A and B are shown apart, each in its own frame.
Chain A
Amino acid sequence: MTSLQSIRNTSSSVLTSLTVKGISKLLAFFSIASKTTSGRIGLFIVLIHFLLAVFGSFITPYSPTAFGAENLQHRLEGPTFAHPFGTDHFGRDVLSRVIAGARSIVWISVIGTTLGIFLGTVVGITSGYLGGWIDQISMRFMDWLLSFPSLLLALLLITIGAERFDIDESWLIIMVIGIAFMPNNSRVIRSASLTVKPLEFVQNARLRGEPLYYIVFREILPNVLPVIGVEATLRLSFALLLTASLGFLGLGVQPPTPDWGLMVSDGREFLSMAPWVALSPALAMGSLVIGVNLLADGIRQALQLPEVRSE
């Protein structure tokens, strides 16, 4: 009984300590990001988009997926006070659809980037530290992956995944982002870990007879985290663009769920008579990508890291 209680106590205390740690990490991230002007602007834009992604469904003035006779009476109406961004070809409120569309693209990109960073970090640090033929083979494999255009890879994976294995498109896009970003991530992180590897504290760990995972994740990883942080923010903007491109091609979220890429694609037909239908999601997309890039740049400046550009 008591032991059970103590276990419960410790587990709850571990949980609270973890959340406390997470919050303090997040605050540290904010304070680093807000050290520079571009970081502050970027953080502001990104935070707005994230809040919309989380709470968007509560604040949309109209239903983003409404489909009915009364809607059809208001087809392709220009911006009015009732519909600030106008209405689309089914008479739905574009503003509501833009707000609701933030959710899918933000989550898909964030999770996809995280996956790519995770895979890239594991491969990059390990092959950087081990060197030799393991490094050669894994890096040549990364080169091979890199030689695929990411859109082609996406087409391939989504078609096979959706038709053969009936996997949800969102998960497939996440996988595509993860796989497509892994090679570049692993290269950047490998080179960062190569600069840490010869340092004396890593050599000391070898003298202590530490196992591989300890050297890689406890000694090297904490010292390449800043590089990973900048890399992740930078990648996020590519992930957003890739997700939107896939939506535009009709490979992403299926209608009627609002999706920015799909909305641009649909609005293309009425570009001359109702430009707001395509323009609104495009502007939302553009502002988010600019925000993420500013944020990445701000963090990089604040941490005084060299500019990383792998594309």
Chain B
Amino acid sequence: MKKEREVLLSVAGLSVSFFTPRGTIRAVRDASFEVARGEVLGIVGESGCGKSTAAFAIMGYLPKTAEIEGSILFEGKSISDLDANELRSLRGNRIAMVYQDPTTSLNPSMKIGLQVAEVVLEHMDLSSSQTSDRVIELFESVGLADPDEIGNRYPHELSGGMQQRVMIAMALACDPDLLIMDEPTTGLDVTTEATILDLVASLKERVNAGILYVSHNLGVIARVADRVSVMYAGQTVEQSTVYELFDSPQHPYTAGLLSCVPKPPQEGGETTRLRRIPGFVFSSQESNDDLCLFSDRCPLANEKCMTQSPSVISSPHGSEVRCIRSHDVDSDIWGEVEQILGVPQSQSETVLMAEQLTHEYGKHQKKYVLFGPETSTPVRALNEVDFDVKKGRTLGIVGESGSGKSTLARAAVGLIEARSGTIKLHNESLANKVENRSQDERSAIQMVFQNPTASLNPKLRIRNTILRSLRRFAGLGRDESQLRAEELMLAVGLDPSYLDRLPSELSGGEQQRVAIAGAFSANPEVVVADEAVSSLDVSVQAQVLNLLEDRQKELGNSYLFISHDLGVVRYLSDEIMVIYAGYVAEYGPSSSVLSLPSHPYTEALLSAAPVPDPTVESNSLRLEGAVPTMRERFQGCFFASRCPRKLGSICDDSPPPSQDAGEGNGHVISCHIPVKELSAVQS
């Protein structure tokens, strides 16, 4: 039985423009959506599509330079007609918002209990004892452990996930009717994200409110939303229920987004090549009312799309799409499905090898000559990690933030000097510090960083960056290196005219391509990619992943690919190493690591990873808290403090053995639970 939908918020034809000295920026052009009570509306789209601006417009939080047109109706009343006082009481009492970054949303100098109590007192007429009861009740409702005591803590004493729970508690303080969540899990680890998403899902049932959930992550939307509204270049391009949207997208953009996301392998264990959306989001500086804004990137675009702005077509069962060719949309419009040709499983030559790699931050001594703490215990970031990267193959490294992934990457290239252990290139030991390696050794191992903007010197033109790299590594003359630079640009799919641009004139994806071109100018044998696609939008991420793969096929180089995103690692890697607190939890061929049996930590990561498919039941295995900071060597198992499958005192007392999973392919699990029992409990 379908119950009557009570529409809380209805936004129609919303447009937001900012007038700046550099011209008008149309952040939102034509957004329309509805949120009903007891329903989660997900708004999804790439960055720069106006999702957050639309959310802020509803709250009335936009600066005065913004010009808002269209109607925003809350329970049938227009929000723009309200005066400042009415708006203020509406914001706290009826509509509440949760922001992306909990660390900056909380006052660092105030106990969290007081901060929540402040909100309660502001909007409700309660005595002080009632207030503190209410605060405890709120902490309980967002699943914070120890709700009676936790209010006495300061924000810095909480993990990111707990902080976000406090923010949600604050938003729930006055039983709002509408909850707006703007990317609430984007800065969090997958494991934490999963627990927050569970909380949102449970709120939907417990609190009789409508939730507007803004996210760029299709997997997250698939997990929480009932209805989804897809935004592109400030327009709502498609709107339907979550099942319909993921099953049969009507708009080419939605179909494209879905085919960009790396998905779990098919039954046969084969992964398909990612498809990509070429080009960029339609510029917000331009005003064009007489074409489909997606037409320049759309494979279906025809003459009519270029000359006429498509109107919204509603279907009888309530879905809407802004496309004149929506009946032609299927997943194949973004290119044929290509099978990735797997590298034969034969043991190829080892290129890069690490033995007992250990690193600590800080020293076992007085920090300063005269002042400072007497002693500081170093933080153990890597503990006797072994790995080897084979020729032409990819080793993926997964773990939460703080698990030692980046330390491992930087130690491998020598940017940080590992305290002990050896790194070998073709069986010859390398110096642990990059400055002490020879130029040939340096050129053999190159790195691509997470932040493409910071990877390029903002004051130098692309040409200077690439040429410098070529001169240092290849020792080419002037003309030769010019030619080679143009070749490199073409190889990463950029026009050679980009050489004369400054990094600030490029988009994030283009900057990352240039960074990759720079790394490949050294003809490296191993490229270490540290979260190289994490800061990119899905469509750009797909482009960069395909690029990395093409280069590997062409040049036969190896990758050490580091990411927190299991989907991405799974897509690219031949072998996977799961690390936790600087210890190797599991290591082996990627298909074995990602299938059962696995280490409880890998299991938790797998169950937490959001899958862009609403029909997938998510596993209920969850991890609370964060990776602990290691100062002492563990007595027992490194994972014992958070392990959902902890056996008992043995886990606290003795280090886990490295068990071979018995598959004959080097799949190793570090756990006290015998492999057979693991596979029994996990299936």
Interface residues of A (CB under 8 A from B): 136, 199-201, 203-204, 206-210, 219, 222-223
Contact = CB atoms under 8 A, between A and B. Distances in A.
A203 B459 contact: no
Interface of B: 369, 413-415, 434-435, 437, 439, 442, 445-447, 449-451, 454-460, 465, 468-469, 472-473, 515, 518, 522
Nearest to A199: B454
Contacts of A200: 449-451, 454-455
A203 B446 CA distance: 11
Tell me what chain A mostly uses at the interface: helix, strand, loop, or mixed: helix
B460 to A, nearest CB: 7
Nearest to A212: B435
B267 to A, nearest CB: 40
7 contacts: A200-B451, A201-B455, A207-B413, A207-B415, A207-B445, A207-B446, A208-B469
A289 to B, nearest CB: 32
Contacts of A208: 442, 468-469, 472-473, 522
A286 to B, nearest CB: 35
Contacts of B458: 223
Given A201-B457, A204-B518, A222-B459, A209 B434 contact: yes
Contact of A223 (B457, B468, B469): B457
B454 A206 contact: no
Given A199-B454, A200-B455, A201-B455, A206 B415 contact: yes
Nearest to B445: A207
Nearest to B460: A222
Given A201-B456, A203-B415, A209 B451 contact: no
B545 to A, nearest CB: 20
A207 B439 contact: no
Given A209-B434, A209-B442, A204 B413 contact: no
A201 B518 CA distance: 11
A215 to B, nearest CB: 11
| Nearest 6 Cβ contacts at the A-B interface | A222-B459, A200-B449, A200-B455, A201-B457, A200-B454, A199-B454
Given A207-B413, A207-B434, A223-B458, 12 more contacts: A200-B451, A207-B442, A207-B445, A207-B446, A207-B447, A208-B468, A208-B469, A208-B472, A210-B472, A219-B457, A222-B460, A223-B457
Contacts of A219: 457
Given A199-B454, A201-B454, A204-B447, A209 B472 contact: yes
Contacts of B457: 201, 219, 222-223
A256 B445 CA distance: 69
Given A200-B451, A200-B455, A209 B439 contact: yes
A210 B439 CA distance: 10
B113 to A, nearest CB: 33
A210 B473 CA distance: 11
Contacts of A210: 472
Contacts of B451: 200
A136 B371 CA distance: 13
Contacts of A204: 447, 449, 455, 515, 518
A203 to B, nearest CB: 5
A208 B524 CA distance: 12
A207 B449 CA distance: 12
Contacts of B369: 136
B449 A203 contact: yes
A204 B466 CA distance: 11
B420 to A, nearest CB: 20
Contacts of A136: 369
Of B450, B472, B473, most buried by chain A (CB within 10 Å of CB) is B472
A208 B447 CA distance: 10
A200 B439 CA distance: 19
Of A199, A207, A209, most buried by chain B (CB within 10 Å of CB) is A207
B294 to A, nearest CB: 33
A200 B435 CA distance: 16
Contacts of A207: 413-415, 434, 442, 445-447
Contacts of B459: 222-223
